[in-house]
Structure 1
Amino acid sequence: MMNPKHTGHSDGTKVQLVTDYGKVGFANPDQLVKAIEEAQPLKVGDYAKVVEPTAGFSAKGQIVKITKVDDSDIPYNTQGMDGKYTGWYEATDLVRATDEEVAEAKRKLEEKRRLHELEAKWHAIGRKVGEFKRGDVVKTLQEVGGHPVGTIGVIAKWEPDHSHLIEANGETYFHMALELIAPVESVVNLHGGDVA
């Protein structure tokens, strides 16, 4: 059994940790507070890391959120960072997730969401992500020659290495980093007296 005791240092910065078997060591009060918080039972809203997956609903190391706690032998109902059900767990199947682990899980989820949105946008125009065509209106994402970042131009030529010859402001340069503004299929060219 751990019994934290103040060591009596004049600056009060260390706490001596003692077991029933003698001295163990010292800890800063902040370290001790963190250890005590981590030892507390999980509650609704806490994040935990799965150490023992349940019935295919989750993976080892996955970060889950506690959504319900009851008094049973399997007290923790959880959901993944994406809000999907990840099962009920015994206390020994989960450990409290660190702030860093939660932040990383949220970052990965956001990255996955953005990729899904990007794929959906390209799919809506019948293309794979990053599939440009001659005539597409694009914005440059890096400075090349006389085209500063943000230059709006038209793809004049596509190359198999994914570099594209961009015409803008009377100049043409090869670019690799582009953002699609309008696919060629949606561009309308009005010539001379064609104005409606």
Structure 2
Amino acid sequence: MAKLEGVKTLDMVNGEITKVAYGGAAYERVGNVGEHGDIALRIAKPASFAEVGQFYPVVKEFEILRFIDDEGEKPSVHADRFVFFRKVSAPANPSVEERVAKAEGEIESLKSDVAALKGEAGYKRIGKSEAQAGDYVKFIETNDSSITVGKMYEIVNIDYEGYLDFIDDDGDKNCGVSSEVFEVYCKVSAASVEAEPKPERWKVGDYAKVVGQSIINEKGDIVKIIQDTGGNVPFKVESMDGKSTEWRSEESLVRATDEEVAEAKRAAEFAKFKEGAKVRLKSGGGELPLNGYENGKVYEILYTHLQRNRIGIIGGEITMGFATPDQLEILSEEEAVEHKKWAEIGREVGEYKKGDVVRYDYGDNEICEVVDDTEDGRVEVQTKDYGICREKPDTLRLVTPVEARFDR
């Protein structure tokens, strides 16, 4: 097998590996353009001969860049399936900036260790709904120049809409909004932080929050773990709507809280309701805010409002009704087409009238005439051999409505 064993991660930025060690040498990430002698991390298109999350040696033969796969073959490299790492040598005389950065990192580490030894406070991540004044908010992603990503801001107030107020870097009151990615922490003693068990490794079926670089899923998105290869980029994750998958490193994910998972599931379910779609009202009809709308009938979605958990529908006796997702059933494309056909002649689906020409939808498909309107869930039709029969509407198909018959 040509996959490289013993590759160690040395550095990461936003959850993405930027530097590794292999064979006693350091390798830095150089992007999607490789050279002979690089090592390449497979990031997409898993195959029987090359695993996603594993490193492979890169060679150049006859001016074609290739990698040595798990079967010993040398297929050509597809740039969209790999990122490349190039060997670097440690500088004999590191720059002042490099030495200062190294010293600062060591100082911060020592501060953290001293605080732990003294029993000083640490931070514990909590759900946003658990936040109280005196807790802290930390931003993962924001476009607000008055907020520093990664800095802890003390919450000074929680307003009536649930926004977390804090004092920003400019000394002004600010708050986290839905377009930003942030987490909430409470201050706890170092002893209680240390006493907390180390989180278990994610299992297939668990949910995580993306904190690394945006690829397919954005920072802050909740994803589901669907595969774990155990490699350098071990986790295959699926978006909450099930429409997209991607591979993620362990460092690019954090464990999602129950509150975050529940909200993500609600948002994914809500997203199924599209403007202009046809829905059947299942419950709540005849009562505010659905007075003028009847259970079992089909209506059209005018707009949706996730934050208020309501969906505006039209087509009832009043201008608009408001329903929640659990009160509505989305019609299939086939059902929507059928509903449109009936609506064009001013009827509900299966609403037959005296004089309609219909066809049996089973047996010999006999064509008959409706002799009595729909009543008690049945339609009376005149058959050739059996006289008048009372049939269920769903066993018949409308051929010609009475209003369109030329023989009348």
The alignment-based identity, stated in percent, is 30
Q: Distance in 1 between matches of 2:243 and 2:200?
A: 25
- Counterpart for residue 197 of structure 2: 36
Distance apart, 1:105 and its partner CA: 0.7
Q: Does 1:87 align with 2:238?
A: no
- Counterpart for residue 120 of structure 2: 24
Distance apart, 1:50 and its partner CA: 0.6
- Counterpart for residue 6 of structure 1: none
Matched letter for residue 64 of structure 1: V
- Counterpart for residue 177 of structure 1: 321
CA contact (8 A) 2:224 2:237 kept: yes
Structure 1 residues 58 and 149, CA gap change in structure 2 (3 angstroms): closer
Matched letter for residue 120 of structure 2: V
The residue correspondences of 1:1-196 to structure 2 (distance < 5 A) are 21-25=117-121, 35-36=196-197, 39-55=199-215, 57-113=216-272, 115-116=273-274, 119=277, 121=278, 141-142=286-287, 150=294, 166=317, 176-177=320-321, 183=343, 184-186=346-348, 187-190=351-354, 195=372, 196=381
Matched letter for residue 50 of structure 1: V
User: Which one scores higher on RCO, CA 8 angstroms, separation ≥ 6?
Assistant: 1
- Deviation track 1:4-37 (CA, whole Å, cap 9, x = no partner) reads xxxxxxxxxxxxxx9653212456x9x7699535
Structure 1 residues 23 and 79, CA gap change in structure 2 (3 angstroms): same
Q: Alignment RMSD, CA only?
A: 4.6
CA contact (8 A) 1:140 1:177 kept: no
- Deviation track 1:128-180 (CA, whole Å, cap 9, x = no partner) reads xxxxxxxxxxx964469xx8875999xxxxxxxx99895xxxxxxx564399x
- Deviation track 1:29-86 (CA, whole Å, cap 9, x = no partner) reads 9x7699535x33322221100112453x211111111112233211211111222343
Query: What TM-score results when the alignment is normalised by the length of structure 1?
Result: 0.50
**Secondary structure in 2 aligned to 1:36?**
coil
CA contact (8 A) 1:54 1:87 kept: no
Instruction: Extract unaligned runs of 5+ from structure 1.
Output: 1-17, 123-138, 154-161, 167-173
Q: Distance in 2 between matches of 1:99 and 1:64?
A: 13
Instruction: Extract unaligned runs of 5+ from structure 2.
Output: 1-113, 122-187, 298-312, 323-327, 329-338, 356-369, 373-380, 382-408
